[in-house]
Amino acid sequence: MRTLRSGEARRDNYLRRNTLETDRYPHAVSVPTEVRGLPVPLPQTGTVSFDLVGYLTIRDATRRVIWEANVTINDGVLSVQARMVFRFAGIGLRVFRLSVVLSVEATIRLETDLLLRRGS
């Protein structure tokens, strides 16, 4: 959570210090429990969309979430892009607004990229 970026440094710093308290809660933890729509076996090449269902913990709040994901397979390398959108209130956080200059929307968009290669 300490590397959170929204494109506005002042907003990011406020979020880290006050809303997310990243000194006390430095990590968000995602625990997948189910994969939906991923074919087995995977194709040798191409892109496949699937959902990754599980739990996300931010600060001391854990919620069930669904990541929308795409995996692109090329020469044995899997490139996964996953994203989810949820509301601040859904994880027990309040939306903040500091004057006209600094504010956030009521929703959070998380994105992650993974690169997977077969070990030797």
pLDDT in tens, 4-25: 777 778 878 877 887 788 899 8
What does the alpha-carbon distance between residue 97 and residue 44 come to, in Å, rounded to a whole number? 48
pLDDT per residue over 60-94, tens digit each? 888 899 999 999 999 889 999 999 987 766 666 66
Cis peptide before 41 (omega within 30 of 0): yes
State the pLDDT at residue 101.
Answer: 46
Predicted confidence (pLDDT) at residue 34 exceeds the cutoff of 80? yes
107 or 41, greater pLDDT: 41
Sheet holding 77-87, edge to edge: 29-36, 46-58, 61-74, 77-87, 107-117
User: Has residue 44 got a pLDDT over 60?
Assistant: yes
Across all residues in the chain, what is the average pLDDT?
84
pLDDT-based confidence at residue 32 (cuts at 50, 70, 90): very high
